[in-house]
């Protein structure tokens, strides 16, 4: 049987020419998989404290997603685990002192782009939320400057709006790690009692999955970093942080009007 005959058995097909952006993504992803020793590790997070802050924000007219909380927690985690914020260059690991955080943005299923929040560790919750919203909106509208998609040192990709469980993302080479934030859904969890035993409660639970380059660090480093990230999200007083950010924004606006 000829090759053409075998091909015909698959039936008719619509032929879609790969766009320029699809070809660029394919080339970049193939290069990343070829160069980096991809490894995946994930952890569950209880978002109760985050949800309490988001509810407080809604009462003040703010609409906050989970992303600025994850970004803020990541920045704190990188302080103690700086190798997350690095690139492999030949035989050297370049560990960056500034967190330039890339946020993967979907372009209506026709590709993606990764605008960069420079100096993300120096921003509070409201600043991160505004930066994410601004860059995402301009990315979708095709209004980003070329410099706004360059110089990233770590990337977050977010499919959580679709209720995904966890994502094994491909590293945005030459970075050494990428974090996926997936769906946050109510789930029954075991809560330890002080005197022993457990109770069952329904909590907002989501999975954070970190794909990392095994050339840069090992599993123990990754596990400890994920545990620290989990602790940040679950234990920080997010409501107090949000109130402080709101107060600072109000003072700055008052100064502008004065």
Point out the residues that are catalytic. Answer: 214, 218
Q: Pairing mode, if any, of strands 101-103 and 92-95? A: unpaired
What count of residues does the chain have?
258
């Amino acid at each position: 049987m000829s090759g053409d005959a075998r091909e015909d058995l698959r039936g008719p097909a619509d032929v879609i020419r790969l766009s320029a952006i699809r070809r660029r993504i394919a080339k970049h992803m193939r290069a990343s998989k070829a160069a980096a020793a991809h490894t995946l590790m994930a952890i569950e997070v209880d978002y109760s404290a985050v949800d309490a802050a988001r509810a407080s924000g809604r009462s003040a007219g703010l609409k906050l997603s989970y992303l600025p909380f994850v970004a803020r927690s990541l920045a704190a985690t990188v302080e103690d685990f700086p190798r997350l914020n690095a690139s492999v260059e030949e035989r050297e690991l370049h560990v960056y002192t500034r967190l330039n955080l890339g946020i993967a943005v979907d372009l209506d299923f026709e590709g993606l782009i990764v605008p960069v929040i420079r100096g993300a560790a120096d921003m509070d919750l409201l600043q991160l939320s505004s930066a994410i919203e601004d860059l995402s909106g301009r990315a979708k509208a095709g209004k980003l400057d070329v410099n706004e998609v360059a110089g990233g040192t770590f990337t977050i990709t977010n499919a959580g709006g679709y209720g995904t469980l966890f994502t094994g993302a491909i590293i945005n080479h030459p970075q050494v790690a990428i974090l996926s934030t997936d769906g946050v859904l109510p789930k029954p969890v075991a809560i330890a009692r002080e005197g022993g035993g457990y109770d069952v409660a329904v909590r907002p639970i989501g999975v954070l999955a970190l794909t990392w380059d095994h050339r840069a660090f090992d599993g123990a480093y990754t596990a400890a970093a994920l545990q620290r990230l989990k602790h940040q999200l679950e234990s920080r007083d997010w409501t107090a942080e949000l109130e402080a950010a709101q107060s600072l924004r109000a003072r700055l606006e008052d100064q502008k009007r004065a």
